[in-house]
Amino acid sequence: MIPLYWYLLLSAAIFCIGLFGAITRKNSVGILLSIELMLNAANINLLAFWRYLYAPNGDLRAEVFVIAIFVVAAAEAAVGLAMIISAYRSRQTVVANDMDSLKG
Amino acid sequence: MTGIQILFIVNALVIIFSAVMTVTARHMIHAALWFVLALLGVAVVYAMLEAGFFAVVQVLIYVGAIAILIIFAVMLTRRALEDQEKPFNRASLVTLLIVGIVFVGLILSIRFWPLLQSTTVPLSPDQLTVGTLGLALTDPQQFALPFEVTSILLLAAMIGAIYIAHERKEKGK
Amino acid sequence: MSFIQDPIPWVIHWLETLLIGWGLSESLTQVVLFVLGAGLISVGAMFFTTMLIWAERKIGGRFQDRLGPNRVGPWGIFQTFADMLKIFTKEYINPVGVDKVPFNLAPVLSVAAVLAIWSVIPFSQTVFGTDISVGLLIIIAVGGLGEMAIILAGFGSNNKYALLGAFRAVAQLISYEVPLVIVLLIPVMFSGSMGLNDIVAAQKIPFIIYAPVACVIFFICSIAENGRAPFDLIEADSELVAGYNIEYSGLKFGMFFVADFLHAFTSAIVFTTIFLGGWQGPGVEEMPVLGGFYLLLKTLVVYFMMLAIRFTVPRFRIDQMMALNWKVLTPLSLVAVLVTAVVDKSIPQGNSLFRIAALLVANLILWLVADRMITAFRKRHPVQVVSNKRPLARPERLPAGGEGISQ
Amino acid sequence: MLHEWLYIGIFLTIALAIPAIALTIAGILSPKKPNPIKNSTYECGMETVGVSWIQFKVQYYIYGLVFLVFDVETVLLYPWAVAYNKVPLYGVLEGILFVFILASGLIYVWRKGALEWV
């Protein structure tokens, strides 16, 4: 039997690692990876809360939220990577600091 | 300490280690591979939470699709990998501090939460399959709208991403 | 249930009582049994594959008007063992600059990803690894691990050709996964469950009769997922030196081959389980052990069909293959799901004969319409040479101005 | 439920262990006589030029992208398919609407010419 707070701690740790990466990574693909890590941390939390607090009542909100996060993660990866590729094509860089112009 | 607790701790350590490697790896492909390992660990966590559907979907969507897409993108942008340089920008130390504060804050905020002591009850067989989820997703009283909205979101994402990434032929002429 | 009718659960029960009698706790006994069962299934699958390699070579020989292996043992039956003995003693060559961990992990993962499918296959009514409620999705999900293995191999090899081969392979595999995943919705709709046991139990009449279009699409896609002819662009040796496994040697190379053969047989058994009724057959209610034989028989028939296709159909070109997937199979599978959902819901429940007839007719109409549309499309767009810029073998036939040479 | 996942976990471990053990045994049995020429990368007898990494065309990414979107959407349809026998007609229609949205995306990509392998 695993206590609920173990899951919360794990998720907090993953979230903080992801946050660190999202802020400091130079490579924009790396930033995207970090954001995906943060989304995963959120998912762990949601499913843990579902299992411990909502499942006894048959409440499905957490599960639907997890599905939404999956979809958002997929959409974000698709569009984000497409933007990175497009930016790379026009400016030959994927370093986020160098993408400082709004022109395409 | 029961077997499942040991399993959880080992798995958590694997996840955290691979998450750290994802964030710090110099080579983007290595970062992506460590990311895959972290995702597999998260899928194991889902399985421990008896959310079997989500565990499988995690492997299917993240490992099978998102990770592969990321690796494709890394290959496409590989000339700018900057293997030699530092992978972090100059704010890394400050960020480390901020993230540490956030982590401590998160722990403190959940520390005295009353619901923390809740325990699990065995799930009904209906909850183990996704049948109830499917019913709820099509019930207009419940989640029919989110269900359709997700598909529109994905459609929009696909159209947008194709529009951005697709090389227009006539441009070259 | 006596021993004759259903030996394996009988043995399991006997083992269980034996282990508990030795003083093991309930859960530990369970774990021991799991390890035993999983080990037996995986070793059995590997061993069976070894035999099938011989069968495949023999049958392939016959298809191509040769004898096939015929030296080692009667009918060359021990040829595979001789080959195994040889490959076990071959040197591993570790090329310079390989990325050690991905390079060595890839062959292991490629076998494991196929072997893992066997964890959810029900062998008979009473013999199955686990009746997990998401078995169908597990089969698709571990396919993703196989794709990761290919990427690891291509990236770890430190070789342009391996990387190119890996990316082409992955592009093919992920493309053909799309209609595969869509089409598997149909068995799930019929049986109301993703557990493979439920799916098989729902097939008193196999789903191939309810949904022939879905069945054909699934069959094509599983051949493509295997990377076998006519979809063997993964190892298109005339175009990509050998594909992603070019830098491998010895048993590491052999592992990719084992994975390939194992995958072929595994997809035959998956196809049987999902569309041909798995262990269903006359008399399985009384004699569950018969189910295993029915499953094996049907699987071997499907496997033979895969071999027949492999040895007779020439290879696709990659653009044709992608067009087949994205422009034929994917729309067709979407329409098949729509048609099945509408027809099955609109006919009255309970009348199973009428239901079968309606679904069958709907599928046939769908098939005819699709066929007509493809024919009309091909009339409007006659086959043309995709690239007339390829370098010509005979220089005197160069087009004027020498534009024909592409660099 | 949990013991089913335990079985899957054990099976995966064994499935990973069998080839790993076989590879290790073969590694012990096999001869080891490396030399620089044998260990060079296999590229048509030439020295490897530059890094092994080359640029890839964007088409790979496009296929991956379409695959990702279709995969996610189809996976979301699985709960619907499981509940198919129990949902009323309007529920089925919702699923069909979902499939139509999916199909319109495919039509867009097709018309855009992004599915051509050139």
Write the single-letter amino acid at D72.
V
Q: What is the pLDDT of residue B169?
A: 55
pLDDT category at B75 given cuts 50, 70, 90 is confident
The subunits that touch chain B, with at least 3 C-beta pairs less than 8 Å apart, are: A, C, D
* Tokens read off for B106: 């998160």
Q: Do A71 and D65 touch (CB under 8 A)?
A: no
Tally B–C CB contacts below 8 A: 61
pLDDT > 70: percent of chain C: 91
Whether B85 contacts C167, CB under 8 Å: no
Q: Which of D44, D78, D93, D111 to mutate to test the interface with C (most CBs of C within 10 A)?
A: D78
Inspect the interface and report whether the beta carbons of C138 and B131 lie closer than 8 Å: no
- What residue type is C263 in one-letter code? H
pLDDT of residue B13: 95
- pLDDT at site C368: 92
pLDDT of res. C72: 84
- The verdict on a CB contact (< 8 Å) between C327 and D115 is yes
User: pLDDT tens for residues C383-392?
Assistant: 666 555 655 5
Q: Does C347 touch chain B (CB under 8 A)?
A: no
pLDDT at residue number A92: 72
What would the mean pLDDT of C346-373 be, rounded to a whole number? 86
Nearest to D7 among C119, C171, C247 (CB): C119
B76-89 pLDDT, tens digit per residue, is 876 555 555 666 77
Mean pLDDT rounded to a whole number for chain B:
83
Report the range out of B65-74, C68-77, C384-393 with the highest average pLDDT: B65-74
Q: How is C9-78 classified by DSSP, letter by letter? A: HHHHHHHHHHHHHTT--HHHHHHHHHHHHHHHHHHHHHHHHHHHHHHHHHHHHHHTTS--S-SSSGGGTT
The set of long-range contacts for B27-34, using a CB threshold of 8 Å and a minimum separation of 24, is B27/B81, B27/B83, B28/A27, B28/A29, B28/A30, B28/B74, B28/B78, B28/B81, B29/B71, B29/B74, B29/C155, B31/A29, B31/A30, B31/A33, B32/A29, B32/A33, B32/B67, B32/B70, B32/B71, B32/B74, B33/C102, B33/C152
Tokens for C379, please give them. Answer: 């009339």
Instruction: Among A8, A47, A89, pick the best mutation site for testing chain B contact (most B Cβ within 10 A).
Output: A47
Give A4-98's CATH code, choosing from 3.30.420.10, 3.40.50.10330, 1.10.287.3510, 2.60.40.650: 1.10.287.3510
pTM of the model: 0.90
**Tell me: the pLDDT tens digits for A4-23?**
888 988 999 999 999 999 88
Residues of B in contact with A43 (CB under 8 A): 42, 46, 54, 58
Residue B55: list chain C partners with CB under 8 A.
Answer: 134
pLDDT by residue for chain A (104 residues), tens only, comes to 788 888 988 999 999 999 999 888 888 888 999 999 999 999 999 998 888 888 777 788 888 899 999 999 999 999 999 988 888 877 777 777 777 666 54
CB contact B52 to D (< 8 Å): yes
Q: How confident is the model at residue C399 (pLDDT cuts 50, 70, 90)?
A: low
Q: Which token pair is C76?
A: 């060359």
At residue C319, the pLDDT reads: 82
Tell me what pLDDT residue B173 has: 34
Measured between CA atoms, the residue of chain D closest to residue C174 is: D67
CB C183 within 8 Å of CB C332:
no
- Quote the pLDDT of residue C313: 87
Query: Nearest residue on chain A to B20, judged by CA atoms?
Result: A17
Task: Report residue C10's pLDDT band, with 50, 70 and 90 as the boundaries.
Answer: confident
Structural domains of chain D, with CATH: 2-112 (1.20.58.1610)
Q: Is the pLDDT of residue C404 over 60?
A: no
| CB within 8 Å: B150 and A3 | no
Contact across the interface for D65 and B69, Cβ inside 8 Å: yes
- pLDDT in the model for residue C242: 67
Q: Give me the DSSP letters along chain A.
A: ---HHHHHHHHHHHHHHHHHHHHHBSBHHHHHHHHHHHHHHHHHHHHHHIIIIIGGGT--HHHHHHHHHHHHHHHHHHHHHHHHHHHHHHHS--BGGG------
Which residue is closest to B73 within chain D, CA to CA?
A: D61
Q: Where are the alpha helices (DSSP H) in C276-386?
A: 288-312, 318-323, 330-346, 352-380
Structural domain spans, chain C: 1-89, 91-315
> How many angstroms separate the CA of residue C148 from the nearest CA in chain B?
8
Enumerate neighbours of A (3 or more CB pairs within 8 A): B, D
Q: Which two tokens stand for residue C154?
A: 């291509």
Q: Give B 84-123 residues with CB within 8 A of chain C.
A: none
Say whether residue B156 is in contact with chain D using an 8 A CB cutoff. no
**Which DSSP category does B116 fall into?**
G
**pLDDT above 90 (res B124):** no
Cα of B12 to nearest chain A Cα, Å: 7
Question: Are C271 and C192 in contact, with CB atoms under 8 Å apart?
Answer: no
| pLDDT average, residue stretch C80-97 | 85
pLDDT in tens, D33-77: 878 777 777 665 555 555 545 556 788 888 889 999 999 988 888
